[in-house]
Amino acid sequence: MTATFIPSQTATVAPTEILETPTATPDIASTVIAISSPKIEASFLSPDGKWRGEVVLYDCVQADTREDAGTNSVQILKLIRLSDQREMIIQSRFSNCGGLGAYGFGGFFWSPNNQNFYYTDAARGAPDGLCGYWARTIKRVNLNDGTVDVLDGGPLSPDKTKLAFWRDNEIVIWSLNEGEIAHIAGLVSETFNNGIAWSPDGKSLVYLQTELDCFPFGKSYVTRVDISGMKQSLVLESETPGFNSLTWDAPYRISLVDDKGTMWRYNLVSKELRPVP
């Protein structure tokens, strides 16, 4: 996928040229744009102030004349080069209002060097029938050539320079500036991937693996990775309770939630696991 520059001051782009309309004809998408007033849902200025990301929404209207048709919306994600107001159309989406699934643009951040723009096209909702772990897909736009790379979702480091995410059975450390900088296979084989959490200082992370991929998740394993040398060690193995999410909310403490919704705290120094009163 490659984004396209549009000189917004001198040309108008027909909806059929930019819209992903897998469930509608281009005419319906065009009608949504024609009869709905656009509004800017979100705006994101690059660190150097030279670019602005915008999400433009053409909100829910009745565009299909069929009696049983519902309402539809169109959302467009674009980057604007402020020096000459040229627009780069990144992605557009035609939606059925009130539909199910994961949808919508969001989760934006720029790389510190201003060369990459990160977003998700699954900002709201969740996949139909979701049961186990899921992270919203993250996409990266490279401003040099307009290419769009698709990454698996995962948390941003505390200093906002790196991502950590699962790729198959590996943990990947991704620099917002440079791309992938390290990867390591999950410590426990024949398990399912679950949550990842950065340490408060960003020098380590923990990740969760589970015996099963849905409630109840069964036996769970928490592994720590020291980023500098990509060395990992198992810090917690628990069958009862079994956990389905975790956060690293204090320097020596991890918080976990079990299958019944009870919160627990694990002390990395004393190695004590206790339920939160």
Strand segments, DSSP code E, in 31-175 are: 38-45, 51-61, 72-81, 86-96, 106-110, 116-120, 138-142, 148-151, 162-167, 170-175
Task: Examine residue 159 and state whether it is found in any structural domain, yes or no.
Answer: no
Query: Residue 86 corresponds to which tokens in the numbers above?
Result: 């040229």
- Last residue of a domain, which of 103, 126, 151? 151
- The SS3 of residue 193 is strand
pLDDT value for 98: 82
* CA 93 – CA 104 distance, rounded (Å): 8
Share of the chain above pLDDT 70, in %: 91
Give the pLDDT confidence of 208-245 residue by residue, as tens digits: 999 999 999 999 999 999 999 999 999 999 999 999 99
The mean pLDDT of 44-63, rounded to a whole number, is 96
52 band by pLDDT with thresholds 50, 70 and 90: very high
Q: Do both 12 and 141 map to the same domain?
A: yes
What is the total count of domains within the chain?
Answer: 2
Q: Given 131, 151, 171, which residue is the final one in a domain?
A: 151
pLDDT at position 54:
96
In angstroms, rounded to a whole number, what is the distance separating the alpha carbons of residues 158 and 171? 17
Q: Give yes or no: residues 35 and 139 share one domain.
A: yes
Let me know if residue 178 belongs to a domain: no
pLDDT number for residue 25 = 60
At 4 the pLDDT is 55
Residue 181 has what DSSP assignment? E
160 part of a folded domain: no
Residues 132 and 269 in one domain: no
Residue with structure tokens 């450390």? 173
The reply to whether 79 and 195 lie within a common domain is no
pLDDT above 70 for 24: no
Distance CA 180, CA 145 (A): 18
pLDDT category of residue 126 using cuts at 50, 70 and 90: very high
Mean pLDDT, the chain, integer? 90
Question: Per the confidence metrics, is the pTM higher than 0.85?
Answer: yes
Q: Are residues 213 and 273 in the same domain?
A: yes
Within a domain: residue 146? Answer: yes
Q: Is residue 201 in a domain? A: yes
**Helical (H) or strand (E) element with 66:** none
How far, in Å, CA of 115 to CA of 95, rounded?
30
Enclosing domain of residue 216: 186-277
What pLDDT score does 27 carry? 83
> Is residue 196 pLDDT above 60, yes or no?
yes
What is the pLDDT averaged over residues 24-51? Answer: 90
Specify whether 139 is located in the same domain as 7: yes
Residues 119 and 201 placed together within one structural domain of the fold: no
In this structure, what are the phi and psi dihedrals at residue 186, rounded to the nearest 5 degrees?
Answer: -55, 140
Contact in structure between 79 and 52 (CB atoms under 8 Å):
yes
Residue bearing the bigger pLDDT, 101 or 230: 230
Does the residue 117 lie in any domain? yes
- Shared domain check, 129 and 83: yes
* Residue 173: inside a domain: no
Q: What pLDDT is recorded for position 66?
A: 80
Same-domain pairing of 114 and 230: no
**Same structural domain, 12 and 126:** yes
Predicted local confidence at residue 3, as pLDDT: 65
Which residue in 102, 218, 189, 91 sits closest to 153, CA to CA? Answer: 102
What is the average pLDDT across 259-276?
97
Does 200 fall in a domain?
yes
pLDDT confidence bin for 18, thresholds 50/70/90: very low
pLDDT value of position 26:
66
Tens digit of each residue's pLDDT (9 = 90 or more) over 131-185: 999 999 999 999 988 899 999 999 999 999 999 999 999 999 999 999 999 999 9
Of the two residues 16 and 70, the one the predictor is more confident about is 70
Asked if residue 7 has pLDDT above 50, the reply is no
Give the pLDDT confidence score for residue 210 in this predicted structure: 98
Domain harbouring 230, CATH code = 2.40.10.500
198 and 263 share one domain:
yes
Confidence of residue 67 (pLDDT cuts 50, 70, 90): confident
- The reply to whether 62 and 131 lie within a common domain is yes
Please state which of the ranges 2-6, 28-32, 96-100 shows the lowest mean pLDDT. Answer: 2-6
